[in-house]
Copies of this chain bind each other. A is one copy, B any other.
Amino acid sequence: MPVIDIELSEKLTISCNILAQEGHGNLTMGHVTARRADQPYLHMNPHDLGLEEITPDDIILIDFNGNQLQGSGRRHSEYPIHTEIYKMYPQINCVIHTHPFYSIIVGATEGTIKPISHEGSLFAGIPLFEETSLLIRTPALGRAVAQCLDGRHAMLMRNHGVVVVGESIEAATVYAALLERAAKMQVTASLVGPGQTSTSVESEGKGEQVFYSKNIYGFWDYFVRNLPNVQRSG
């Protein structure tokens, strides 16, 4: 029987706390899972706590069928978002599902992110999941979500929220923060007019110039340094 991985739980906790700070909190809703490469089970924050409230002791463990292996907190019913993405994309080790304010608005209106600023270039043209705005509670719906994601870092979900993924907790968390920043700028810019956007050549160039791996991990370090309470009880 797998046991709780303290190091992963601590990093997952920090991810939840950063996400809350970056506009991904919505009462006690939203969930983040992570695994070490190729593990067929997941660490997950539990139901009933806000993302900013999570501590490492709260983390639970579930298998790919949603069975709870460790931890006393309640499992989120939308676990198939996570399990089906891990099954389809072996290189993904962290999946985030939240209800960020501006990203939901973009999903309900323009339907995708436009490359207005550096952040926008990273998510230009990401897919919109339109099949349902209800919860993703079955493996079939989870597979539909995973397919719609189509290998991108993030996806909008109509009248619901977002999915963001990464090779690591650090990468997925930074992408999620950047996505909501891009969405906020896009929504705000809409009040002035359609405007100019970066060309696809420019957007790709920014991937190399701004969002290279070392910088993504540097942004994670920045977020960690600026959390109000980084030192938490283990």
Contact = CB atoms under 8 A, between A and B. Distances in A.
A233 B53 CA distance: 25
Nearest to A186: B192
Contact of A185 (B27, B104, B192, B206): B104
Nearest to A102: B188
Contacts of A42: none
A53 B223 CA distance: 12
A226 interface: yes
A74 B202 CA distance: 24
B115 A188 contact: no
A54 interface: no
Interface string A52-79: 0100000000000000000000000100
A220 to B, nearest CB: 10
A159 B202 contact: yes
Contact of A159 (B28, B110, B115, B210): B115
Contacts of A102: 188
Interface stretch (A1-9, A128-136, A165-173): A128-136
B108 A159 contact: no
Interface of A: 26-29, 48-50, 53, 77, 99, 101-102, 104-106, 108-110, 115-118, 120-121, 130, 132-135, 137, 158-160, 184-199, 202, 205-206, 209-210, 215, 218-219, 221-222, 225-226
9 contacts: A48-B218, A48-B221, A53-B226, A101-B188, A105-B192, A109-B196, A110-B192, A120-B159, A134-B206
Given A104-B117, A105-B185, A120-B159, 10 more contacts: A99-B118, A101-B184, A104-B185, A109-B193, A109-B195, A134-B206, A135-B210, A187-B188, A187-B191, A187-B192
